[in-house]
Chain A
Amino acid sequence: MIAFNPAISLLLAFFYSLVVSFSFFEIYFLLPIIFLLYIKKQNLLDIFKKLLFLNLFIFVLFLVLLFQSTFEDALNIYIRSNVIILFNLTLFYSSKGYDIVRGLSMLKFPNMFTASTYFTLKMIETLTSDFKNIKTTLRARGFKANTSLFAYETFGNILGMLFVKSIRKSQALKESFEARGFSGKIYLNDEFNINKYDYYLGFFVILIILLKVIL
């Protein structure tokens, strides 16, 4: 699996998203996406499945925009949203989530910010796993989601349970901080290595910036 440098990925994702979101759609915006899709060609189906799922939300936005502005504007925003999401989805597809933290650490973001991002991601992962477990339990105990008062009460209880769990987890994490001498910094082993794929992707993104912003 080809891995991009997390710091370069973060920077390129930021600048690409910035340029695309503030300009009218141009066909050359697709250049880095084609390159990324070629690299991740083994995961194309999964990437497009995720994009399709996200389009459920983007399409609603498109419909709302249709009422507020012209069809061209709405379509342009719809396409640009998809382009930005597809770029980021493909770029970070094989990322474990913590690559963002590695990127922030390499880019010398403040230690506290990097550590907070890491623990936020860790908490999201824990709560997602807890939520999945609760869903499995509900299914195993014969619960069916419908519009009854009982179903809403159950959803309320689940939210309450997740809230209490997150407080307990944060308490346990605080104890680990104390027991392990944490002082606001997590230590990662990454070296700032750039490979040829980082250069290629960087070239495409810089080309877009030059074409759109400077020229």
Chain B
Amino acid sequence: MSCSINLKNVSYKNDDKELFSNINVNIGHEEKVAIIGSNGVGKSTLLKIIAGLQHEYKGELHLFHNLIANKKEYESHRSDIGYLPQDVSDYFLCPTVIEDVMFNLRAKGENKQSAFHEAMLILESLGIHHLKDRIIYELSGGEQKIVALAGILITKPKIILLDEPTNALDSKAEEKIIDILNHIKKSMVIVSHHQSFIEKLAPTIYELKKDGLDLLK
């Protein structure tokens, strides 16, 4: 299996206090991996390191067999990575659903009509095309997560990073997210402390501890 993400001896210090160290993991092409761990152990930080949003770490991050030594080198892989933060309200950059889903394509220079067409296809495939003209902040938490996911999927990333994707969702919304994610054939790293959700989604589960990742499943 070709490797999408490779972490070698990654460690991270927050204000001189070591959060985690000795992180070694390979995540293959179209492999779904979950990372669990107790509160404050650094799950979100680890995901941000992979997402290229946290550069103050030690060790090596390889994406598609290329060593990422600095922020500049990461930028060439930026469009291959889709990152969903824990609080999706921070993810949105436009007022309405359709405008936000179109954002990434238009930022890349794609014209309005083709971006609109692609955004509609994504919204239809996720079953939320009826929300297209709604103001995002008026949507429920579950709907916002699916809209954010649409914003990620439209860029056709090779890797999807999800930070607590079912956080504060009811069971119906959670089932919908699981269904959507199960149909996506991409490398995926999911951070969550929601055991039942993870078991339905990821064949490989790691537990993040201070001194490394333990393979649970």
Q: Mark each residue of chain A from 180 to 210: 1 if its CB lies under 8 Å from any CB of chain B, else 0.
A: 1111011111000000000000000000000
Given A169-B90, A189-B112, answer yes or no on A181-B107 (Cβ-Cβ < 8 Å).
yes
Whether the pair A101, B137 counts as a contact (CB closer than 8 A) is no
Q: With CB as the reference atom, state the residue of chain A lying closest to B161.
A: A179
Whether B135 and A98, one on each chain, are in contact in the complex, defined by CB atoms closer than 8 angstroms, is yes
> Nearest B residue to A190 by beta-carbon distance?
B99
| A38 shortest CB reach to chain B, Å | 27
Q: Is the CB of B95 within 8 A of A98?
A: yes
Residues of B close to A101: CB separation below 8 A: 95
A96-B95, A180-B151, A189-B98 known; A175-B112 Cβ under 8 A: no
| Residue of B79, B81, B92, B116 with most partner-chain A CB within 10 A | B92
The stretch of B29-37, B47-55, B123-131, B208-216 in contact with A is B47-55
Check B107 against A185 for contact (C-beta < 8 Å): yes
Number of A residues with CB within 8 Å of any CB on chain B: 23
> Smallest CB-CB separation from B105: which chain A residue?
A187
Given A182-B107, A189-B116, also A172-B95 (CB < 8 A) = no
Are B91's CB and A176's CB within 8 A?
yes
Q: Are A187 and B107 in contact (CB under 8 A)?
A: yes
- The 8 A CB mask of B72-112 against A (1 = contact, 0 = none) is 00000011010101010111111110110011101110001
Contact partner of B52 (CB less than 8 A), chosen from A96, A173, A176, A178, is: A178
A126 to B90, CA, bound (A): 10
| CB-contact partner of B85 in A176, A181, A183, under 8 A | A176
A92-108 interface bits toward B, Cβ cutoff 8 Å, 1 = contact, 0 = none: 00001010010000000
Q: A98-B95, A172-B87, A176-B90 are in contact. Are A187 and B53 (CB under 8 A)?
A: no
A126 engages B89 (CB within 8 Å): yes
Given A96-B135, A125-B137, answer yes or no on A180-B104 (Cβ-Cβ < 8 Å). Answer: yes
Q: Which of A136-190 contact B (CB under 8 A)?
A: 169, 172-173, 175-183, 185-189
A62 within 8 A of B: no
Whole-angstrom CA separation of A182 from B168 in the bound complex: 28
The docked-state distance in angstroms from the alpha carbon of A173 to that of B53 is 11
Q: Is the CB of A180 within 8 A of B103?
A: yes
**A189, B92: Cα distance in complex, Å:** 16
**Minimum CB–CB distance for B86 against chain A, Å:** 9
- What mask results when residues 23 to 59 of chain B are scored 1 for a CB within 8 Å of chain A, else 0? 0000000000000000000000000100111000000
**Does chain B have a CB within 8 A of A87?**
no
Within 8 Å of chain B (Cβ to Cβ): is A118? Answer: yes
Considering the chains assembled together, what is the distance between the CA atoms of A189 and B113 in angstroms?
10
Give which listed residue, A98, A179, A188, contacts B53 with CB less than 8 A.
Answer: A179
A117 to chain B, nearest CB (A): 12
Which of A96, A173, A181 is in CB contact (< 8 Å) with B79?
A: A181
Tell me whether B95 and A187 are in contact (CB under 8 A). no
Q: Which residue of B lies closest to A99 (CB)?
A: B95
Q: Kindly name the residue among A126, A173, A179 whose own CB sees the greatest number of chain B CB atoms within 10 A.
A: A179
- Residues of B close to A179: CB separation below 8 A: 51-53, 78, 81, 83, 85, 91
Q: Which residues of A contact B (CB under 8 A)?
A: 96, 98, 101, 118, 125-126, 169, 172-173, 175-183, 185-189
A-B contact pairs, 27 of them (CB 8 A): A96-B95, A125-B137, A172-B87, A175-B90, A176-B85, A176-B92, A176-B93, A178-B52, A178-B53, A179-B51, A179-B78, A179-B85, A180-B91, A180-B103, A180-B107, A181-B104, A181-B107, A182-B93, A186-B93, A186-B94, A186-B99, A186-B103, A187-B94, A188-B94, A189-B98, A189-B99, A189-B116
Contacts A178-B53, A179-B83, A187-B106 aside, 8 further interface pairs with beta carbons under 8 A come to: A98-B135, A175-B85, A175-B90, A176-B85, A176-B93, A181-B104, A182-B107, A186-B103
